[in-house]
């Protein structure tokens, strides 16, 4: 499976990128770093600069066609920038339209709010997004991980870096479920 990891050029929370990435690689799948600009993305450890990661694919009106699933890492600046970029919003929305699973952690659901895909869904996030999610027609819950299998696509969400173990295990299970034709 080819898994897109969508990030802005700067501001992704490093551990929310690297831990799911390792999980996907460990499952034998092919993670691809997708961004809105070429070169490298600058990751952060909260407010401090951390590692830099090479972009594999630059968005240019792309859809989910070349990928099997999407991971949206958080960080505050990352999804805030992505939700202001129509290419990123459209890319995220296309996974829902195509019925492909999406996993988002921490502040990442901001991009999904902008894509208008949370209506009628139950999800979790960093607590400060609860009102945004409710205003977009979603139901917010305070859980380590939430799986919403509302048609047409499965959405896996999680609150914060402390939840990464359960988030990674759940996204692997749900992505595999989709690959086996149950999703």
Catalytic site positions: 106-107
Q: Count CB-CB contacts under 10 A for residue 33.
A: 18
Distance CA 32, CA 71 (A): 10
Q: Which residues of 133-169 are buried (b: 16+ CB within 10 A; e: fewer)?
A: beebebebeeeebbbbebeebbbbbbbbbebbeebbe
Spatial contact of 118 and 90, defined as CB atoms under 8 Å apart: no
Bridge partners of residue 5, in order along the sequence: 33, 71
């Amino acid at each position: 499976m080819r898994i897109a990891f969508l990030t802005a050029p700067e501001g992704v929370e490093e551990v929310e990128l690297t831990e799911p990435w390792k999980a996907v690689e460990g499952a034998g799948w092919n993670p691809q770093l997708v961004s809105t600009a070429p070169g490298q993305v600058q990751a952060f450890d909260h407010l401090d600069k951390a590692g830099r990661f090479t972009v594999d694919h630059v968005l240019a009106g792309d859809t989910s066609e070349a990928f099997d699933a999407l991971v949206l890492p958080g960080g505050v600046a990352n999804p805030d920038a992505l939700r202001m970029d129509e290419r990123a919003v459209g890319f995220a929305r296309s996974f829902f339209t195509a019925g492909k699973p999406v996993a988002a952690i921490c502040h990442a659901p901001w991009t999904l709010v902008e894509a208008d895909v949370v209506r009628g869904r139950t999800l979790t996030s960093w607590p400060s997004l609860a009102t945004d999610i409710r205003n977009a027609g979603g139901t917010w819950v305070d859980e380590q991980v939430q799986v919403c299998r509302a048609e047409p696509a499965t959405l896996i969400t999680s609150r914060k870096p402390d939840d990464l173990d359960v988030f990674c295990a759940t996204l692997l299970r749900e992505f595999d479920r989709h690959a086996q034709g149950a999703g």
